[in-house]
Structure 1
Amino acid sequence: MTTNESAASYLETVLHHDIPLTRDMGMKVIAWENHQLRLHLPLAQNINHKSTLFGGSLYCGAVLAGWGWLYLRLKEAGIEDGHIVIQDGQISYPLPVKRDGVAICEAPDDATWEKFVKLYQRRGRARLALNTRIVAEGSDDSAVEFVGQYVLHK
């Protein structure tokens, strides 16, 4: 993986192969830039009875944005011997998503990341909290806010 574009394409292939639900959801990896991951969640494949994005699809998108962020960041760090699992997740839905959604996972601060990596290297297991938000395409307002506790273990 040498470019951000190839990293995004690679992650989309991994998601569609390893988690087939992502294909059915129409999920696409939009971008991996400056340690920020963006996933696209189309309304058409994830619509509910209120003509908005289904809450379960939003939850799945939020979880996978964090999972994908950690997956790519570990690859960049040369750590390929671990398994990522979601341990816990807290979500809120302040606004309905009436258009396609974009799940955005930002990097934690550098000190948190470095502590996570050192703990994993020392103990073979570490936990990291990642924040994801989902916005309606074309908006900056958070329609979904998610905090996931991800565990990396050997």
Structure 2
Amino acid sequence: MSSVSTPASDSLSRLQLRLQKMPPVRAMALRVDDFDPATGLALSAPLSANINDKGCAFGGSLCSMMTLASWGSASLALDLAGFPEAEVYVQDSTVRYLAPLYDDLHARARLEDGHDWAEFVRTYRNRGKARANLCAEIHCADGRLASSFVGRFVALRPQA
């Protein structure tokens, strides 16, 4: 993350702090790398903290990374629009495991094609709730797709 303070870097720092408050995420040694509305949120974690008995990345860590990258994308979109208090939940998801990953974990999540953040934020602003469909991927060092994720996320205005 950049050392210059901007609204986006402030939001990324807040997201990193939120994630570190979750013990399972802290154990994964997960890092927030960057966010761009067009390309999504990038997270990373070392293989050494997410390794299974076969010496490759633990499937639960792969799923968690992609879920968190998607959740974080929706949370950041709302934070950047002035709604840092929005509560974002995963509603449902599908994960595919396609190849073992023997490298550090790098997940990137983005909105599914045909969806846009402006509509998501507008719906949240007007109705106090919104849904977003996101997808995420983790690739092997050689470029092969290791895992893919598709999920629906719901953002709700906090209960008073």
TM-score, normalised relative to structure 2: 0.84
Residue 3 of structure 1 and its aligned partner are, at CA, apart by 5.6
With over 3 angstroms needed to count, the CA separation of the structure-2 counterparts of 1:78 and 1:109, relative to structure 1, is: farther
Unaligned runs of 5+ residues in structure 2 are: none
Contact 2:71 2:153 in 1 (8 A): yes
Distance 2:116 2:9 in 1: 26
Moved more, 83-92 or 1-10: 1-10
- Counterpart of 1:132 in structure 2 is 136
Distance 1:121 1:30 in 2: 27
Q: Does 1:55 align with 2:39?
A: no
Distance 1:123 1:9 in 2: 28
Distance 2:127 2:13 in 1: 32
Q: Does 1:46 align with 2:47?
A: no
Q: Does 1:79 align with 2:83?
A: yes
Contact 1:97 1:143 in 2 (8 A): yes
Instruction: Give the aligned residue type for 1:133.
Output: E
Residue 33 of structure 1 and its aligned partner are, at CA, apart by 3.4
Deviation string, structure 1 residues 38-69 (Cα, Å, up to 9, x no partner): 11121111111111100011111111000111
With over 3 angstroms needed to count, the CA separation of the structure-2 counterparts of 1:51 and 1:128, relative to structure 1, is: same
Count of residues in correspondence between the two structures: 152
- Among 28, 32, 35, the alignment partner of 2:31 is 28
Contact 1:4 1:33 in 2 (8 A): no
Instruction: Give the aligned residue type for 2:83.
Output: I
2:90 match: secondary structure: strand
Unaligned runs of 5+ residues in structure 1 are: none
Deviation string, structure 1 residues 84-136 (Cα, Å, up to 9, x no partner): 01110101011111111101012455853333223222322211111110123
TM-score, normalised relative to structure 1: 0.87
Residue 14 of structure 1 and its aligned partner are, at CA, apart by 1.6
- Counterpart of 1:100 in structure 2 is 104
